[in-house]
Chain A
């Protein structure tokens, strides 16, 4: 086996989006030597795509706002399935995290009196989203990136080396979390540029790799979103939580086909945009579910008054949580009232002067003008649902972000589950990254400090196995290494496209029992074929090879989604079943956990041995677990009448 470069660090952060960078900053500030690994260039993370804002109850625009209200909105949005302690920490700490960004140089849009301006968003009772036009994610990433550079400058002054305590390994991909017995020992990865392998040994690893959207065909997610962190955690022995909840953002572009899925920010609706069907009707009024009836306007007049006088009017139904709006759009299109390209119309042109649109939604204006030749100040946009976010993820401890069952493994951001329950509110993602990114970095640093005396060891066998696994696509064609030939080599791009089509069609926004079973079978077939995914060329910056390696992750995660979705026989948030259309209170306190069926086998044969081709058994085992009851003082924040709609009888009377 080739000699693999080994380095020692205290904390390794996988992923350099908002959560990863925030974790790295925290770990480094708490004294841990920290390495950050990211698939793309530093500063290009998917977080830059976040547009709307960071939800934080600072109360700058409406003084009525506070963490309790934010907590309530988050729980409602997640249909009470949220890991309530996370929702509480999130609501409490978000303002501090936003203010801190300012001390690192962030420049948010301002209120008249010079404080951070906040905007309305779906599901948030008050204007709550700190924002910068419609490029808040970019501001967040840039600020964190520059904070990291600031820390590196500090280290340079002290040690003469910018990277002595905090180093970014850009364009590197981690394929395995390595272990020493039960605990984490480091990571194995390759450098895209050269194709060389490397091992970073560290007692603590923070996974912050984002989501899984690239398993779906129509998605707002970038190529990096292949569920790497989810798969890494699974393979390391940690369970994934509630993977059936996938958020479809209601408004993605639908035309032209090459940009289908690209996000149209929710701020378009928050700032006054309305949804209409082909008959010109504002259809959202017909889709307000019972649990939200008294919170949303019943007439267009009332809805329109709300923008100026939110205290005396109810909000427009366009601002319902995302799952509701996505379903409504889906239903309209199905009923034949869609737009020419299979979406509905989102209109700001008749609602605001052109100048205001250009000022408040500059990148949307830009995006439609450049990509679709549509002037949004003059005509309506065509939009439809697009896969946007996965609520499910690595099951973590609420306070420390530590993954369950694997000491030394932490997870934060989209890759972590629980915080958003069954549906995430817009704006809660960026604040989630900051709050739990910091907590993950903090606890990882603390954990690593505790292991300083007896650092875990990573044996060569594991490294060799990981290297062999990573190299397999090059030998797939010749059937080397004792692999059964089993068929012709497969093109990884074709496999990926089939996977995306499968997930989109069979485990998409509306789900049916038979289709999901079909999906599981197809996944089994793809899994078998993926073992023959072969690549041409050499290891230096070879995208075909990278994709072949990512396929493992997408297949694992897709199976989790399909299996969990099949199991949950109700509709809740980001999980809608045609055959079980209603929310079922009995499911309120049930978590579904995915674990690897054969962790030992997975270590040596990542394709899962026999299970790889068996659609019934698959690689994933599902278990149910009852959630911890919500703390009484938090429950007391809600009206009894509301709780009745969500909680089962026995929960109410406890």
Chain B
């Protein structure tokens, strides 16, 4: 067991303003960044605001930016840094700050509400659902999401362009649409809801330029871009840009 003094810069402040503050703090073997933040709370700044819950990478609460990269503090081991390196911790920079490391992630909850929920199939009661494993695999991958909102934070569409927050749901919720569209028993289509089309028209799928930062930061290792966003784009192409399909639907509608 060896311990050392590490140099930290932690952003402190609120909506009015703030800045990076310097700290020297003890680090022990096997610790993660969240341990250090807790040590700061317990020994130096008891009112340092931070969100956290499970400390095991399962709840997605302790999202922050460490040395400029969006990460979970509980899953960032101190051993990935050099001992003489200054570790900088800031709140997520795509969302309005509340205090210190805590940001207002209300954007995500607002977007969650805009995605129409699962539509249960008519005529199937509880206990009568039959689904094959291979049919649920895809959606199950997306349901691993712990809603840490790191993908929403890193996505340049909203991170760098506040005005796009109106039109763009962000990777997490486009993935939610993909999840529902791939759900083997979702009956949205029978109910007259075309998820593929709404992804493009209502949730801003077209803003995504598939630069894959969402996939890079996902702590669950979900292949958001390859498995959710691009397939969803292809599904939207089926609807909107495939002349044969378009012609077919025109004729059928007559």
Q: B47 contacts A370, CB within 8 Å? A: no
Given contacts A105-B118, A543-B49, contact A370 B57 (CB under 8 A): yes
In Å, the complex CA distance between A40 and B60 comes to 11
Q: Which residue of B lies closest to A492 (CB)?
A: B46
Given contacts A114-B132, A135-B144, A257-B30, contact A150 B117 (CB under 8 A): yes
Given contacts A95-B127, A96-B126, contact A543 B46 (CB under 8 A): yes
Q: A224 contacts B47, CB within 8 Å? A: no
In Å, the complex CA distance between A46 and B125 comes to 30
| CB neighbors of A among B97-136 (8 A) | 98-100, 102, 104-105, 109, 112-113, 116-118, 120, 124-127, 129-133, 136
Number of A-B residue pairs, CB cutoff 8 Å, is 173
- Hey, which chain A residues are within 8 Å of B120, CB to CB? 103-104
Given contacts A150-B117, A493-B41, contact A370 B46 (CB under 8 A): no
- Hey, which chain A residues are within 8 Å of B100, CB to CB? 541
Q: B102 contacts A541, CB within 8 Å? A: yes
- Hey, which chain B residues are within 8 Å of A114, CB to CB? 130-132
In Å, the complex CA distance between A363 and B220 comes to 9
Which of A113, A139, A367 meets B130, CB within 8 Å? Answer: A113
Q: Is B14 in the interface zone, CB < 8 Å from A?
A: yes
B198 CB to nearest chain A CB (Å): 13
- Hey, which chain B residues are within 8 Å of A543, CB to CB? 41, 46-50
Q: Is B139 in the interface zone, CB < 8 Å from A?
A: yes
A492 CB to nearest chain B CB (Å): 7
Q: Is B83 in the interface zone, CB < 8 Å from A?
A: no
In Å, the complex CA distance between A366 and B222 comes to 13
Q: B30 contacts A541, CB within 8 Å? A: no
Q: Is A132 in the interface zone, CB < 8 Å from B?
A: yes
Q: A44 contacts B56, CB within 8 Å? A: no
Q: B143 contacts A107, CB within 8 Å? A: yes
Q: Is B230 in the interface zone, CB < 8 Å from A?
A: no
Q: Is B51 in the interface zone, CB < 8 Å from A?
A: yes
Residue among A142, A222, A543 facing the most chain B CB atoms (10 A cut-off)? A543
Q: B46 contacts A544, CB within 8 Å? A: yes
| CB neighbors of A among B123-169 (8 A) | 124-127, 129-133, 136, 139-140, 143-147
A355 CB to nearest chain B CB (Å): 15
Q: Is A109 in the interface zone, CB < 8 Å from B?
A: yes
A 601-623 to B, binary, CB cutoff 8 A, 1 in contact else 0 = 00000000000000000000000
| CB neighbors of A among B207-233 (8 A) | 221
Q: Which residue of A lies closest to B34 (CB)?
A: A258
Q: B30 contacts A139, CB within 8 Å? A: no
Q: B49 contacts A541, CB within 8 Å? A: yes
Q: B32 contacts A541, CB within 8 Å? A: no
B 41-55 to A, binary, CB cutoff 8 A, 1 in contact else 0 = 111001111111111
B160 CB to nearest chain A CB (Å): 24
Q: A48 contacts B146, CB within 8 Å? A: yes
Q: A109 contacts B54, CB within 8 Å? A: no
Q: B46 contacts A535, CB within 8 Å? A: yes
- Hey, which chain B residues are within 8 Å of A44, CB to CB? 53, 59-61, 147
In Å, the complex CA distance between A537 and B50 comes to 14
Given contacts A102-B129, A105-B183, contact A132 B143 (CB under 8 A): yes
Q: Is B28 in the interface zone, CB < 8 Å from A?
A: yes
Q: A48 contacts B29, CB within 8 Å? A: no
Q: B48 contacts A48, CB within 8 Å? A: no
A 80-107 to B, binary, CB cutoff 8 A, 1 in contact else 0 = 0000000000000001100110111101
In Å, the complex CA distance between A311 and B130 comes to 26
Q: Which residue of A lies closest to B29 (CB)?
A: A256
Q: Is A42 in the interface zone, CB < 8 Å from B?
A: yes
Which of A95, A223, A363, A492 meets B58, CB within 8 Å? Answer: A363
- Hey, which chain B residues are within 8 Å of A102, CB to CB? 126, 129
A 501-534 to B, binary, CB cutoff 8 A, 1 in contact else 0 = 0000000000000000000000000000000000
In Å, the complex CA distance between A109 and B135 comes to 11
A 122-154 to B, binary, CB cutoff 8 A, 1 in contact else 0 = 000000000011010011001000110110110
In Å, the complex CA distance between A371 and B73 comes to 12
Q: Is A281 in the interface zone, CB < 8 Å from B?
A: no
In Å, the complex CA distance between A557 and B116 comes to 42
In Å, the complex CA distance between A536 and B112 comes to 36
Q: Is A545 in the interface zone, CB < 8 Å from B?
A: yes
Q: B130 contacts A115, CB within 8 Å? A: yes
A67 CB to nearest chain B CB (Å): 14
- Hey, which chain B residues are within 8 Å of A107, CB to CB? 131, 136, 139-140, 143, 183
B229 CB to nearest chain A CB (Å): 20
Q: A535 contacts B118, CB within 8 Å? A: no
In Å, the complex CA distance between A82 and B195 comes to 48
- Hey, which chain B residues are within 8 Å of A544, CB to CB? 41, 46-47
Q: Is A465 in the interface zone, CB < 8 Å from B?
A: no
Residue among B57, B100, B127, B132 facing the most chain A CB atoms (10 A cut-off)? B127
A648 CB to nearest chain B CB (Å): 40
Q: Is A372 in the interface zone, CB < 8 Å from B?
A: yes
Which of A115, A152, A492 meets B113, CB within 8 Å? Answer: A152
Given contacts A103-B129, A262-B55, contact A149 B46 (CB under 8 A): no
- Hey, which chain B residues are within 8 Å of A135, CB to CB? 58, 144
- Hey, which chain B residues are within 8 Å of A537, CB to CB? 46-47
Q: A542 contacts B49, CB within 8 Å? A: yes
Which of B57, B118, B130 meets A146, CB within 8 Å? Answer: B118
Q: A46 contacts B53, CB within 8 Å? A: yes
Q: Is A334 in the interface zone, CB < 8 Å from B?
A: no
In Å, the complex CA distance between A256 and B74 comes to 13
Q: B30 contacts A49, CB within 8 Å? A: no
In Å, the complex CA distance between A99 and B144 comes to 20
Q: B58 contacts A542, CB within 8 Å? A: no
Q: A110 contacts B131, CB within 8 Å? A: yes
Q: A41 contacts B143, CB within 8 Å? A: no
Q: Is B31 in the interface zone, CB < 8 Å from A?
A: yes
In Å, the complex CA distance between A135 and B75 comes to 17
In Å, the complex CA distance between A262 and B56 comes to 7
Given contacts A224-B53, A371-B77, A542-B49, contact A142 B143 (CB under 8 A): yes
Q: Is A263 in the interface zone, CB < 8 Å from B?
A: yes
Q: A99 contacts B126, CB within 8 Å? A: yes
Q: Is A216 in the interface zone, CB < 8 Å from B?
A: no
Q: A153 contacts B116, CB within 8 Å? A: yes
A 142-181 to B, binary, CB cutoff 8 A, 1 in contact else 0 = 1000110110110010000010000000000000000000
Residue among B124, B125, B146 facing the most chain A CB atoms (10 A cut-off)? B146
A 255-274 to B, binary, CB cutoff 8 A, 1 in contact else 0 = 11111001100000000000
Q: Is A491 in the interface zone, CB < 8 Å from B?
A: yes
In Å, the complex CA distance between A585 and B153 comes to 58
Nearest first, the 3 A-B pairs at minimum CB distance are: A256-B30, A537-B47, A105-B118
Offer 10 A-B interface pairs, CB within 8 angstroms, sorted by A.
Answer: A41-B61, A44-B59, A44-B61, A104-B118, A109-B136, A138-B144, A222-B59, A371-B75, A494-B42, A543-B49
Given A103-B129, A138-B58, A149-B112, 20 new contacts (CB under 8 A): A43-B147, A44-B61, A46-B53, A49-B59, A103-B126, A105-B117, A109-B140, A114-B131, A132-B140, A132-B143, A147-B117, A193-B99, A222-B53, A223-B52, A256-B31, A262-B55, A366-B57, A493-B43, A536-B46, A541-B100
